[in-house]
Amino acid sequence: MTSPGHKKKSDKIVGAAIAFALGGLSVLAMAPYEWPIVLFFTLSSLYVLLSSGSEGKVAFLYGWSFGFGYFVFGLSWIGNALLVEGNEYAWAYPLALTVLPALLGFFPAFAVYLWRKLYDPFTLPGFLGFTASLSLFEWLRGNILTGFPWNLFGYTWAGFLPVAQIASFSDVYCLTALTILWASAAGFMFIYKAGTAKKMSVAGVLILTFVASLLFGLNRLKTPPINRDDISFVLVQPNISQSEKWTADLLPQHFNTHLDLTESEGLTAPKSIKTTYVIWPETAIPLPFTAHPDAKGMIAQALQYYPETAFLLSGAVTRSLDEKGYHNSLVAYNRDGEIVQTFNKFHLVPFGEYMPLQEILPLSPVVGFSGFKSGPGPQTLSVSEGFSFSPLVCYEIIFPNHVLANGEARPDAIINVTNDSWYGISAGPYQHFAQARFRAIEEGIPVIRVANSGFTGVIDPHGKIISRTELYEKKTLRINLPQSLKKKNYISYLSIGMILLTLIISYFLKVMTNRCTNHD
């Protein structure tokens, strides 16, 4: 006979297949679908599956299978960047679809392995341990090595802002922990070895935490932010095809497209606006144009269409100071076409913008040359009185706790320039935009996002979308800036402290429960 702790090989295969399916189905909880109810089914089902004699290596297998399913479907769009016409790495498309998801699958694998080694899933300490362990490894996924906090479970609430406001209290990791707690509760209650009264008490407390979170969010949302009437923003989405973006003969045409959209919007600019910030997307200005006198003159001419003070904030490729490398930058031009501020992207995309271990791997990044050099870190920039901003380039927006400069006054906005046209019509741009909404909620600061083709828009400090373009739309948006909240509720790194505390308390409760049982 097979003991409960040792499964047959066929049972393991079936269990792994079920876990994989649950992981894949969980993607429906993320953008563009944002159906939280799906997680309530999949995480509860996973909890029951893991409790059915799946200890040690079997739990690890099931956890990895769940993670692999979750990431292979949730990140399927990443490989699209390799299919852009002219990309020499199209052969790596199958690897992009499988290798990264396989590696990320180890985070839930180790989480459930640790949990099953330390806890009894049929007890309350075991349930709390599951929440804490899975939450801890979600935090680790976003913070160790290069970090990749994409599709954290808390992002499922992007479509339901009252619950999403919990991220303002700490960050999305805290909301992720609560989401795991709520979503796996049904599975725990199904197998919980306790009397009816105790089950009802536990269920009542869980419901109370959700209701309290909901009421907190509703209260935060009841007062909408006020728009400033002294500053106007013109957001330019040129919708330039990725296959043509870096074609040398077309670079002047692309530059003129940005200028034409800027000038046409300036012709109808309100005369009452004192300061206008025109924003172009990531790498809108290629290296030959960044500091070229003729290009700077054309920028100055375009800004003359706007009343009084005007600035251009544009993504650009720039030379490093030693002229031995390049930066993916955001550059600020004044009304005379002079560069007055430069921010260099500090969180580069591995394999996309630089090649890790390039001395060992004789390959160039997907960008097609030797790669970018990283900047020093988050900064707060100001090009005129009364407005400061934190610049972020592309996926720098996805990192909680790393979007503002430490020790500096809070900026009035986060400005994120990006280019989602690499990924076509897929879930990628939707997921990217959803994460930008959470940075606004966490920091209590509006986010202005400008894409080459993707989603250009403005998000208020509550995560509400004020205005947004659609995918593959050539368009400009003119908006006023929502005021940031007077102070943030956010406490940096509170979430990881709460997760570790829950892990410690749940283990302490487990030990005490075992002692009481043995004493009896």
Choosing from 138, 265, 282, 396, which is the catalytic residue?
282
Q: Which amino acid is at 63?
A: G
Contact by Cβ (8 Å): 335, 304: yes
Task: Report the candidate in 167, 111, 153 with the shortest Cα–Cα distance to residue 136.
Answer: 111
What DSSP string describes 19-59? HHHHHHHHGGGSTTT--HHHHHHHHHHHHHHHHTT--THHH
Longest dimension (CA), the chain: 87
345 flagged as catalytic: yes
Choosing from 394, 396, 443, 488, which is the catalytic residue?
394
Contact by Cβ (8 Å): 118, 163: no
Q: Burial code of 183-219, b = ≥16 C-beta within 10 A, e = fewer?
A: bbbbbbbeebeeeeeeeeebeeebeeeeeebeebbee
DSSP letter at 372 equals: B
Query: From CA 487, how far away is CA 498, in angstroms rounded?
Result: 22
- For 340, list phi and psi in degrees, rounded to 5: -115, -20
Q: Cβ neighbours of residue 182 under 8 Å, at least 6 residues apart?
A: 40, 206, 209, 210
Contact by Cβ (8 Å): 157, 438: no
394 flagged as catalytic: yes
Residues constituting the chain? 520
Q: Three-state SS for 13? A: helix
Q: Report how far Cα 309 is from the mean position of its chain's Cα atoms.
A: 34
Choosing from 7, 245, 345, 510, which is the catalytic residue?
345
What DSSP string describes 122-165? TSHHHHHHHHHHHHHHHHHHHHSTT---TT-GGGGGGG-HHHHG
Query: From CA 415, how far away is CA 356, in angstroms rounded?
Result: 28
174 flagged as catalytic: no
Active site residues: 282, 345, 394
